[in-house]
Amino acid sequence: MARSAVQVARVSPGDEERFAALWVESRAAQGLSADHAERAIREGRLRVSCQREDVRIYLATIDEEPVGFTVVMHGPVSALNDDIAVWIDLLWVKPGRRQRGVAKALLAMVASYAEHLGASDIVSCVPATSRDANRFFARLGFASVVTERTTTAAALRRRLAGSHQGPSVSEAVRRRRSLRARSRTRVAMASSSAE
């Protein structure tokens, strides 16, 4: 039996209901709260995202069944650079529908969108912990350019205020290396004295 073709279309304002259930499912599959996602839908955040000029949500279907989506934004690569880039914020395919060309069909739509805008780059935001996603994007020619690190303002303030208190991370690493070196020396001395 032949595979059904993957269809990809933009989720337009007022049509977000077809996408909403799949988005909630993706959040739950990633270990996040489905309740939080459902509340975001009730509060209209999904509708507002669909209405933004700089955001596109594309939904992939097979035989009218929603099977995957991508959320993309466009904007400058950095604050001091006017070149426009398309940013892949989310890309998700239902586990039972993977390996069927869904992600590639979604990314083909992203490429078309980037070409339409004249975007110089396509940037994918891939979690560092997702080995499969990183390999997938690497196979498609996405190169690692930066490592993003995040924190909260409160946590940063605590660290800045307490940076002179207690040992720093580099001090802890130095101590650990020193202990390892001493341990190796003791083992070497014990081995040579046993001979």
Axis-axis angle for helices 17-29, 34-42 (nearest 10)? 160
Residue 52's pLDDT is 87
Task: Tell whether 115 and 144 lie within a shared domain.
Answer: yes
Q: 52: which strand partners?
A: none
Residue 110's pLDDT is 95
By residue range, what is the domain housing residue 190? 157-194
Q: Which of 103-107, 145-149, 177-181 has the highest mean pLDDT?
A: 103-107
**34-74 residue pLDDT tens:** 788 788 888 888 888 888 889 999 999 998 889 999 999 99
Task: Tell whether 28 and 107 lie within a shared domain.
Answer: yes
Task: Tell whether 13 and 98 lie within a shared domain.
Answer: yes
Residue 73's pLDDT is 93
Residue 31 lies in a domain: yes
Q: 74: which strand partners?
A: 86
**C-alpha atoms less than 13 angstroms from C-alpha of 182 in its C-beta half-sphere:** 6
Of 59, 73, 64, 94, nearest to 4 by C-alpha is: 64
Task: Tell whether 137 and 184 lie within a shared domain.
Answer: no
Task: Tell whether 124 and 175 lie within a shared domain.
Answer: no
CA distance 192 to 195: 5
Q: Domain containing 54 — which CATH number?
A: 3.40.630.30
Task: Tell whether 57 and 85 lie within a shared domain.
Answer: yes
Hunting for tokens 């209901």 — which residue is that? Answer: 17
Residue 120 identity: S
Q: 78: which strand partners?
A: 81
CA distance 37 to 30: 12
Task: Tell whether 80 and 45 lie within a shared domain.
Answer: yes
Tell which wins on pLDDT, 87 or 129. Answer: 87
Whether the predicted pLDDT of 166 surpasses 60? no
Beta-sheet pairing, 55-62 with 81-93? unpaired
Residue 163 pLDDT grade (very low, low, confident, very high; cuts 50, 70, 90): low
Task: Tell whether 66 and 133 lie within a shared domain.
Answer: yes
Task: Tell whether 144 and 165 lie within a shared domain.
Answer: no
CA 2 to chain centre: 32
Residue 169 pLDDT grade (very low, low, confident, very high; cuts 50, 70, 90): low
Whether the predicted pLDDT of 30 surpasses 90? no
Of 102, 99, 34, 28, nearest to 70 by C-alpha is: 102
pTM over the 0.85 mark: no
SS3 105: helix
Residue 106's pLDDT is 95
Number of domains forming the structure of the chain: 2
Task: Tell whether 94 and 179 lie within a shared domain.
Answer: no
Residue 1 lies in a domain: no
Task: Tell whether 103 and 17 lie within a shared domain.
Answer: yes
